[in-house]
Structure 1
Amino acid sequence: AFVIFSSRIQVKHKQNLILQGAPGVGKTFAAKRLAYAMMGLKDDSRIAFIQFHQNYSYEDFMMGYKPKEDGFELQYGIFYQFCQKAANIPDQPFFFIIDEINRGNMSKIFGELLMLIEKDYRGTKATLAYNGMPFTVPKNLYMIGMMNTADRSLAMIDYALRRRFSFFEIEPGFHSAGFQSYQSALDHDTFNILIERIKELNQEIAADSSLGPGFRIGHSYFCGQAECTDEWLKEVVEYDILPMLHEYWFDEPDKLQRWENILRGVFNDER
């Protein structure tokens, strides 16, 4: 609830917000809940969801000429169409959600829109390069990006991104009232012990000078289960947590081995 309240203030202030955090902290969940909270209801028709990647382009995002039969045809991208949709209902908020926003080349994708998405330029018209027509990003459109802080290859964030978006850090939610209520309802001893070990692991990750808080383990790896079993918990450890630690501490085998023993040892503890 605190995440939604705080990020709601930021997105209202700047209209462009990036939710950043470690893997599994619930960025996608928070983005959608933020949109629903600002709309005052759950209306997915006013939400668009896409994911950026290195080959994503202006032609995909906005417009471009694409092959059709024996020639080429100007086709409009998802952002252009969503802006038109939002402009037709100006009294209702619309939300454009972008996963992995820092994986895309912002200048390549946005082009002249880099100016138009700024709050102060919302409603301002600019001439588009492809069709020569005026275009504006409506004032009732909000942009929410998501960014994984544990991606080593994306440590440097495009300055254009920094200028135009507010940033909100989402923390692992093991101490939140919601997670504790969920944990209590599962009422599973192994789950409780494993979560304590994960909290200790997060403290060590946060204190590691080569990693830091942005590399901690998120709570969502342990969510979404109506019934908890040792088999499921072992799968989370073996196929989600340990592979991540192998990447984090590939050059520190002793530390990696110690945490492998600790996490696997949870299932061998005599209770």
Structure 2
Amino acid sequence: MISHPLQPGRARNLILHGPSGTGKTRATLDEALRIVDPLFLEQHHGQRSMLKERFDALADAGRIRRVTFHPGLDYADFVERRRSDAGTGERVEAGLFLQFCQDAASDAGRRHAHVLVIDDIHRGEVARIFGELLTLIEPARRLGKPEALQVTLPGSGRRFGVPANLHLIGTVNTSDCPLAELDRALSRRFVFREMPPQPDLLDGIAVEDVDLGALLRVMNERIEVLLGRDHRIGHGVLMPLAEPGAATLAALGRVFRERVVPLLLQHFAGDWKRIGWVLGDPSKILREHRFVQPGGPRTPEDLFGRAVAEQIGDRRWHLVDAAFDRIGSYRGILG
């Protein structure tokens, strides 16, 4: 793993990885500017609106491009495809990556860096998307390097190599794809930087007497014990409460209803018992403070009769909606 930033004059392939809500997409903006316009980034550090404006301007100028990988993306979309034309017959059309490489190559003489940001790079079948270009993206194989390589593209028959001024930045949501399951072709060709949850960004922000940094920290410690670090909750889930005047009980309840519990449901595949463990429910003295409770409105005996009820277990769990509106429910998470 690396902890240093990309250097403007050095081609590199970087992957930012971590659970959802840890700021990976936001960090790609900084990393892209660090490569393409480091002086602007330095002068306007922390001024998010200005940095976003500059990022968008560079994207409009063709020096930064963003793409999201998905299971349907393939070589024809990314490199080149054959198309039938009624007037001229069959023609070969450049895909997104090939076009961007050509643009970068035309700018190489002016020493202009270009950045391709690939969101959710883990969701695509990398070998199928890059094809024979997978080897060419290695920094040592770029055009102008001592060990540069070129290939003959099967569609157009042209000789092609990846320019040295093209940088690749990808993101991996480890909640979806733990690093151990990542395509080995990526792990050999990219350097990795972890983007962990940062509960310290929430320290000192409280809803009544419940500190949000402490709240996120203890939930993530429990999740890490039960599932591992890849499924922790990102600080971004609670960051809206850091806005002035936003840290209210009603807002905290909305975040837990709409973000925290759905994430836990996804991570634990509907295992309500363990979700209750993460939320500290077993140690809460008052039942009304427990978010997750067993059973349903009618007992198994009511539903099936005593004879059947004695032979079965009740697997039902339900969320107690009123618990989201009680500060004791959140105090109880802290233990």
Tell me the TM-score normalised to structure 1 length: 0.83
CA shift, 1:165, in A, is 0.9
Structure 2 partner of 1:207? 225
Answer whether contact 1:102 1:154 (CA < 8 A) is retained. no
Answer whether contact 2:264 2:275 (CA < 8 A) is retained. yes
Match among 238, 248, 260 for residue 222 of structure 1: 238
Structure 2 partner of 1:139? 164
**Corresponding residue pairs, total:** 259
Structure 1 partner of 2:129? 109
Match among 185, 192, 203 for residue 160 of structure 1: 185
For residues 1-271 of structure 1, the aligned pairs below 5 Å read: 6-8=4-6, 15-39=12-36, 40=38, 41=40, 42-43=54-55, 44-45=58-59, 46-66=63-83, 72-90=90-108, 91-123=111-143, 124-151=149-176, 156-175=181-200, 179-180=201-202, 188-190=206-208, 193-208=211-226, 211-224=227-240, 226-227=243-244, 228=246, 229-250=248-269, 252-260=271-279, 261=281, 267-269=325-327
Distance 1:216 1:147, change over 3 A: same
In 2, the alpha carbon distance for the partners of 1:4 and 1:219 equals 21
In 2, the alpha carbon distance for the partners of 1:135 and 1:200 equals 52
AA aligned opposite 1:57: D
AA aligned opposite 2:228: G
CA shift, 1:249, in A, is 2.8
Higher relative contact order structure (alpha carbons within 8 Å, sequence separation ≥ 6)? 1
CA shift, 1:16, in A, is 0.8
Answer whether contact 2:257 2:324 (CA < 8 A) is retained. no
Answer whether contact 2:6 2:12 (CA < 8 A) is retained. no
Supply the RMSD in Å over aligned alpha carbons. 3.0
In 1, the alpha carbon distance for the partners of 2:179 and 2:84 equals 33
In 2, the alpha carbon distance for the partners of 1:169 and 1:237 equals 25
Answer whether contact 2:142 2:163 (CA < 8 A) is retained. yes
Tell me the TM-score normalised to structure 2 length: 0.68
Answer whether contact 1:103 1:154 (CA < 8 A) is retained. no
In 2, the alpha carbon distance for the partners of 1:105 and 1:255 equals 33
Task: Select between 42-51 and 160-169 the one with higher mean Cα deviation.
Answer: 42-51
CA shift, 1:226, in A, is 3.7
CA shift, 1:115, in A, is 1.3
Answer whether contact 1:56 1:109 (CA < 8 A) is retained. yes
CA shift, 1:202, in A, is 0.5
In 2, the alpha carbon distance for the partners of 1:266 and 1:52 equals 36
Percent of aligned pairs with the same amino acid: 32
Distance 1:82 1:19, change over 3 A: same
In 2, the alpha carbon distance for the partners of 1:202 and 1:263 equals 18
In 2, the alpha carbon distance for the partners of 1:245 and 1:255 equals 9
In 1, the alpha carbon distance for the partners of 2:124 and 2:170 equals 11
In 2, the alpha carbon distance for the partners of 1:202 and 1:84 equals 45
For 1:174-229, what per-residue CA distance to the aligned partner results, in whole angstroms no more than 9, with x for missing partners?
A: 22xxx35xx66xx6535953442221000111222xx2111111011123564414
Distance 1:84 1:191, change over 3 A: farther
User: SS of 2:199's equivalent?
Assistant: coil
For 1:243-265, what per-residue CA distance to the aligned partner results, in whole angstroms no more than 9, with x for missing partners?
A: 12123334743332244557865
